[in-house]
Structure 1
Amino acid sequence: MTRNARKGWIAAALAIVMIASLLASCGKSGDGKTKVTIGEVTRSLFYAPEYVAVAKGYFEAEGLDVELTTTPGGDKTMTALLSNTIDVALVGSETSIYVAQQGADDPVINFAQLTQTDGTFLVARKPVDAFDWSSLKGVDFLGQRKGGMPQMAGEFTLKKHGIDPKKDLNLIQNIDFANIPAAFLSGTGAYVQLFEPQASIIEKEGKGHVVASFGVESGHLPYTVFMAKQSFISKHKDTVQSFTNAIHQAQRWVAEHSAEEIADVVLPYFQNTDRAIAVSAIDRYKKQGSYASDPIVDEAEWNNLLDVMTTAGELKERVPYEKLVDTTYAQAAIEASK
């Protein structure tokens, strides 16, 4: 996403806020539970603990009636949050930084982390016995959307291995997120950067081979985080605490159970996904530590995110950790679980 495009959606979102109700949508359901609407940036096995929190009744036990909505794309998710269409967003922390850079009066606060690494994998069209990053030089590389965390983590990794993504390879970025797997299958690119379960699906069909993980290479990041506007958090502290408690319960359950057990719990949210593929995807994410073990966004992760954004040329100035991160609720959730 270019800076002009990003300014466009942020300006539009802020305009909507001016005419939207100043009251957050959090209210009571018929059974007395507090209603909370989550807007997730996509429906993904990468977010398994979120679905575990719903399916295992952790939100309900905390007195919450949670509604999941999917708003594809970080721009759409953030617009929904800023306009009070949703209460809580599950999206990359970079979006809160983009909003802050535009001088928002009601900043978006990161309060509970769900994933702590990039979730994409490098898939080669042909088998590679001993992959070396230098072999990417000169190839057609099908990447992710400019300005989004997958692409920034991808470019960060390439540069880490001495590859200039603008000069050393043919970086293809003009394909919509949802169409990237199909583009690769149709013959575009010698390598592609893919999320699960697409990587496992393509591998199972024998049409590609996972050769590396961008999550492993780019390190710990506040990659996908639950966030809300500061005004919402100030008005609904108990709700935010209950929400965070439920997420931490789910994180602990995921850490203690196998990929097979997790898949069986979350598959109702992925009705068209083969169980074996779901197990493969979840197993990959568990093994590389993608699922955060607790909801805390720590300062080292935040600084790594700023480094990734700086390397990608997407950061005007470094945003202080304490400005957009509140660990109060995560810390209390951890204490409550002991």
Structure 2
Amino acid sequence: MNIFCKKELRTLIIALSLICSGAFAQSKPPMQPVANLEKTKVSIAVGGKNLFYYLPLTIAERLGYFKDEGLDVEISDFPGGAKALQALVGGSTDVVSGAYEHTINMQAKGQPIQAFVLQGRAPQIVLGYSTKNMPNYQSIADLKGKRIGVTAPGSSSNMMLNFILAQGGLKPSDVSVIGVGAGAGAVAAMRSGQLDAMANLDPVITMLTQKGELKVISDTRTLKDTKTVYGGNMPAAVLYAPIAFIEKNPNTTQALANAIVRSLKWLQNAGPSDIVKTVPENYLLGDRALYLEAWGGVKEAISPDGLMPKDGPNTAYKMLSGFEKDLAGKSIDLSKTYTNSFALKANQKYK
């Protein structure tokens, strides 16, 4: 066989292999969406969508996972979790991507909502003080009378602040809380000297600590630090909805849980470049290297499977009990604040 025949034979073999592999790929059945969705168009409210805290939601949206489940999802972004909750209570959204703690507070108010898939297994919230305004900071007591930024009053960052204040013998009323959002506005507020301290999340925190503008007081970005602060596993972002919505739309709820669990699985194997390519450019806050550094510090805070840890609800309840007056004398049934049934089924579909 001459050289030309050999080349032609190799070309033919490569072509056939490509055709066969393509046929095989096409023969693999795609993941089927959940059948008989009660509601295909779903609105989700979130407070600070650019945060790593809500990254699984962004991944599910950007990679088309909601669409693959047969859903047409509209996401509305608010300055903080408390605002997203208000949208749910007001009836302008179906579901919230927000902090689990809200399910406990709302039960105490007679408005039962339930978490049905976990996005984060550590809060990722950091409380720090301004090195410019408080160069002589020594202890929590020094925060009395100070201006402290949170994503939004009543949000999970505000709850974390209140908890840490209580550890230092201070009440929420001992400080001035200022909502600054979770993006460039929060960074600007700290740099301009408007704030003496801040409870916020990454990438905002890493941007400020990297420049030496913020010193950490309390950190919950890793599982170890979270257990040190709260004494146990502390659930963070979840998808939650009124129990009435979940009972009326179980297939739609399952589809939402499927999309989030699929994004959690993707995140477990994604490299830094995958993250940067997937999220919107404005998430990077103008500094790609810093964004990736921040991601490395919070990656383990992302839930691997969407399941609520057994001790998580009680850890959250004990935290809230330290400062939430609305919980005083109230009997809270933690088993009604979350369900793992949807996440368990989602893990059977996406392994």
Per the alignment, do residues 232 and 138 of structure 1 end up closer, same or farther by CA in structure 2, a change over 3 Å counting?
closer
Q: Distance in 1 between matches of 2:291 and 2:130?
A: 22
Shift of 1:180: 5.1
Percent of pairs with identical residues: 24
Counterpart selection for 1:47 from 51, 54, 59: 54
Contact (CA 8 Å) 2:129, 2:217: kept in 1 or not?
yes
**What one-letter code is carried by the residue in structure 2 that aligns with 1:81?**
L
Q: Distance in 2 between matches of 1:113 and 1:327?
A: 9
1:80 pairs with 2:87 = yes
1:329 pairs with 2:342 = yes
Correspondence for 2:213: 207
Counterpart selection for 1:198 from 204, 207, 229: 204
Contact (CA 8 Å) 2:208, 2:214: kept in 1 or not?
yes
Per the alignment, do residues 64 and 313 of structure 1 end up closer, same or farther by CA in structure 2, a change over 3 Å counting?
closer
Contact (CA 8 Å) 1:35, 1:64: kept in 2 or not?
yes
Segment of structure 1 superposing worse, 149-158 or 273-282? 149-158
Shift of 1:271: 7.0
Counterpart selection for 2:170 from 165, 169, 176: 165
Shift of 1:322: 1.6
Shift of 1:126: 4.4
Per the alignment, do residues 66 and 146 of structure 1 end up closer, same or farther by CA in structure 2, a change over 3 Å counting?
closer
Contact (CA 8 Å) 1:96, 1:109: kept in 2 or not?
yes
Shift of 1:318: 4.8
Correspondence for 2:18: none
Contact (CA 8 Å) 1:202, 1:208: kept in 2 or not?
yes
Task: Note the 1:68-217 alignment, pairs <5 A.
Answer: 68-104=75-111, 107-126=112-131, 135-138=139-142, 142=148, 144=150, 147-157=154-164, 163-166=168-171, 172-178=175-181, 181-187=187-193, 191-210=197-216, 213-215=219-221, 216=225, 217=229
Residue segments in structure 1 that go unaligned for 5+ positions in a row: 1-25, 28-33, 128-132
Shift of 1:54: 1.5
Per the alignment, do residues 189 and 279 of structure 1 end up closer, same or farther by CA in structure 2, a change over 3 Å counting?
same
Q: Distance in 2 between matches of 1:262 and 1:80?
A: 29
The structure with more radius of gyration: 2
Counterpart selection for 2:64 from 45, 49, 57: 57
Contact (CA 8 Å) 1:37, 1:67: kept in 2 or not?
yes
1:299 pairs with 2:310 = yes
CA RMSD between the two structures: 3.0
For residue 311 of structure 2, give the secondary structure of its aligned residue in structure 1: helix
Task: Note the 1:213-232 alignment, pairs <5 A.
Answer: 213-215=219-221, 216=225, 217-218=229-230, 219-232=232-245
Per the alignment, do residues 126 and 225 of structure 1 end up closer, same or farther by CA in structure 2, a change over 3 Å counting?
same
Count of aligned pairs between the two proteins: 295
Counterpart selection for 1:233 from 242, 246, 251: 246
Task: Note the 1:308-327 alignment, pairs <5 A.
Answer: 308-314=319-325, 315-316=327-328, 317-327=330-340
Correspondence for 1:130: none
Q: Distance in 1 between matches of 2:211 and 2:317?
A: 37
Segment of structure 1 superposing worse, 55-64 or 310-319? 310-319
Correspondence for 1:249: 262
**What one-letter code is carried by the residue in structure 2 that aligns with 1:195?**
L
Residue segments in structure 2 that go unaligned for 5+ positions in a row: 1-37
Shift of 1:143: 5.3
- Normalising by structure 2, we get a TM-score of 0.73
Correspondence for 1:10: none
For residues 14-54 of structure 1, the C-alpha deviation after alignment (integer angstroms, 9 at most, x for no partner) is xxxxxxxxxxxx74xxxxxx222111122223211111111
Contact (CA 8 Å) 1:121, 1:213: kept in 2 or not?
yes
For residue 299 of structure 1, give the secondary structure of its aligned residue in structure 2: coil
**What one-letter code is carried by the residue in structure 2 that aligns with 1:92?**
A
